[in-house]
Structures are given as C-alpha cells and as structure tokens.
Amino acid sequence: MDNLLEFKAAVDEDKIPAKNFNAIRDVLADETFVPEIIIKASPAAAGLCDWIINITAYYDVVVSVEPKKLAVAEAQATLAAANAKKAEVDALVAKLNAELSVLLAEYQEAMDTKNAAIAESERCERKLNLAQRLVAALGSEQEKWAQSIIDLGEYLQLVIGDVLLASAFVSYVGPFNKTFRDIIMNENFVQFFKKNNIPMSESANPLAVLTDEATIAGWNNYGLPPDRVSTENGAILNNSARNSLIIDPQLQGITWLRKTWEKHDLQVTRLSNPKMVRTIENAVEAGFPVMIENLENTIEAVIQPVYARVYIKKGKSKYIKMGDKELTLNPNFKLFLHTKLSNPHYSPEIQAECTLINFTVTQSGLEDQLLALVVKKERPDLAA
C-alpha cells in the first residue's frame, strides 16, 4: 500500500522507466481488464486494476504535458528576454527621439534664422536699391535745394514784416474796395514799413501768407469769384479771429459761404425769425456755424455777447451769457453776419467788434478816383 501511495511521486520525479508502462499496454488493451469485470472475482484485484488504469493515464499525461510545460517555460523565458530587449530598444528609441527632437528644433531654429537673414538681406537690398534710385533722382535737385536754403534764410529775415503786413491787412482793409485797399497797402502800410526799416518782401503780397493756391481753387469751386478782391475777402474771413460782418449786395459772399459751410451743418437765420435766439443757443453749445442774413443797420442787443465774443472763462471752459442763460462755448462755433446793404451804417462798437468784409462789386472808375482823393486827404470836402 505504501508503494502504491508513493508511486505517483516516483512518476513525477521520472523514476519509473517507460518500459514498465510499455510492458502493460497489452494488458490494458484487453477488454476484460476493467474493474467492473474483475470485481466479480476479487474486489482487491478490481481496486488494483483501477489504480493501474489511472496511474497509467496519469503517466501518459505527465509524459505528454511535461514537454509542453518545458516549451511554455522556454517560451516564457524567450518572451521575457524579448520583452526586456523590447524595453531596452524602446528606451533607446525614446532617447533617440528626444535627441532627434532637439536636433529638429535646432535645425528649425537654424532654418528660421537663415530665412530671417535672407529676408532681411532682401529687404536691405530693396532699401539700398530704393535709396540709390532716390539719391540718383534727387542728385539733380541739389542746386535747387541749395538755392531753396538760401531763399528760406532770406525769407526768415522777412517773415516778421510779411506776417505783420498780413495781420494789418486782415484787421483794416476788409471794408474797402480795391482802390482803397491798394492805397492803404501801398501808400500807408508799405511806406510805414520802409520808413521804420521793418524787413518785408518786395512783393508786399499778404495773400502769400494768408492762403495758398489750392485753398483758393477750393473757394472758387464753391462759388467765390476768382477776382483779386474776392480772394482777399475769402482770406480775411478765414483768418480773422473776430466774427465777420459781410457787406454783400450782390449775394456773392453768402452763396459761397452756404456752399462752403453746408457740410458743417450751417444754420441760417434772420433777426425776424422768432426761433433765432434758440438757433444761436443750440449752435453755440453744439459747435455749428451760424449765419444771420439780411441785417439792417441795427442788430439786436440780445446777440451782442455772441458777435462781440464776450466770453466768461471758468477753468478750461468758456461760456457765453445770453439773457439769463449761460451757454457752454463749443470751440467749433462760428458766427457770420450778412447784410445786403451796400452802404450800411453800424455803430462804432459793432464795427470794432466784427471784421467788416466788403463783397461789393468794384465801383466805377470815377468813384474810385474820388475815393482815392478822400484817402489821400486832397479833397476832404468829398468825404461826405
């Protein structure tokens, strides 16, 4: 019994020769060698038969499974080695990828630097070509520039007199016609400048200081007549700090002003308009230009603070008081006064507070001569 119990261990340890099991194969093949038949003869022999069948089956399993176990163990060992090798290769690949990333970044940086250098080189080359072309093109202007520097230096010595003459022109000659203006300019202002050694240009042309040809062309497009007097009137109106009172019997000035200032929301009203005061109040605060047309010889006192520029300054803001209202002055506000009277008679205060501009068409030669005599004081009896 002990031998039977220990026999399995002997099979596991491969201590039983294979010939022992081969020797009983014929017996096992016998159809009568089964416990069901043998038990009839001897129960002990039936048990032993059952043990022989099972131990043989166990032996066959051990013999057939062991190589597979060995193969599995070998395969597992091979897999472990392969996995270790794979891990080693993966680590190497990761290292190489990291190094490749660094190299690619350095390569991209080098390429960006190269491309930037090429672009900068091309830009510099273009600038150099443009500079060379510009220098070549401006080389011919050297003499002109040199002369311009000389002329500018001379003009700087004369600019004080020219600006002073233009200021006097704006301040005083507006009410007069061409003859008067020529006399005032040539026989009064210019002679005074020469007598007092005030440097000024020989041409004595205030328009050269007050405006330019492009501006004059714009005025003409808006309806200002192209004659000298009308151009002077436009220059006086646009350069005077005071509000303008326009003497305009032929309505040339008002036509020009309407077209010029309509894009700035010009407000046109009259003293007879019941909404006149409200229009002026709104324009003062909103910054709209206002024209009061068809004035007679008198102007209502309610608008005197406006045309006289009676400002109240509080901090950085300016105010105008109209009646019992204190209006905030918008710096864009402008006031134009207009009359169709050819010879209006306004009070000295109005004439002092406004710039009078005469848009009257040039009078006849006889009247011009008589006016010239009055200005020269050769015929004081004609002053009336």
What average pLDDT does the structure give for the chain? Answer: 85
Report the alpha-carbon distance of residue 34 to residue 53 in Å, rounded: 8
The confidence score (pLDDT) of residue 43 equals: 87
Tens-place pLDDT, residues 305-345:
888 888 899 888 899 988 888 899 999 999 999 999 888 88
Sign of the CA dihedral 57, 62, 67, 68?
A: positive
Strand 317-322 and strand 325-328: the pairing is antiparallel
pLDDT at 116 over 90: yes
Contact 331, 287 (CB under 8 A): yes
Domain 164-382: give its CATH architecture: 3-Layer(aba) Sandwich (3.40)
User: What is the arrangement of strands in the sheet containing 317-322, beginning at the earlier edge strand?
Assistant: 311-314, 317-322, 325-328
One-letter amino acid for residue 228 of the chain: R
Tens-place pLDDT, residues 27-42:
888 888 888 888 888 8
255: exposed, middle or buried (Cβ count in 10 Å: 0-12, 13-18, 19+): middle
Report the alpha-carbon distance of residue 246 to residue 238 in Å, rounded: 12
User: Which CA distances in Å does 7 have to 19, 34, 43, 271, 373?
Assistant: 15, 21, 21, 141, 163
Strand 311-314 and strand 354-358: the pairing is unpaired
pTM of the model: 0.57
Q: Which residues of 264-278 are buried (b: 16+ CB within 10 A; e: fewer)?
A: eebbbbebeeeebbe
Report the alpha-carbon distance of residue 358 to residue 346 in Å, rounded: 14
Tens-place pLDDT, residues 203-253:
778 888 899 999 999 999 988 888 888 899 999 999 988 888 999 888 888
Task: Find how far residue 259's CA is from the centre of its chain.
Answer: 32
pLDDT category of residue 106 using cuts at 50, 70 and 90: very high
User: What is the arrangement of strands in the sheet containing 354-358, beginning at the earlier edge strand?
Assistant: 267-269, 289-292, 334-339, 243-247, 354-358
Contact 223, 256 (CB under 8 A): yes
List 289's β-bridge partners, or say none.
334
Three-point CA angle 338, 341, 343, nearest 5°: 120
The secondary element (H helix, E strand) that includes residue 59 is helix 43-139
The confidence score (pLDDT) of residue 364 equals: 41
Contact 327, 321 (CB under 8 A): yes
C-alpha closest to that of 378 among 194, 183, 192, 189: 183
Ranked by mean pLDDT, which of 44-53, 107-116, 245-254 comes out on top?
107-116
Neighbours of 200 (CB within 10 A): 19
Tens-place pLDDT, residues 152-177:
777 777 788 889 989 999 988 888 88
pLDDT category of residue 375 using cuts at 50, 70 and 90: low
Contact 338, 255 (CB under 8 A): no
One-letter amino acid for residue 79 of the chain: L
The residue written with tokens 């163990």 in the block is: 73
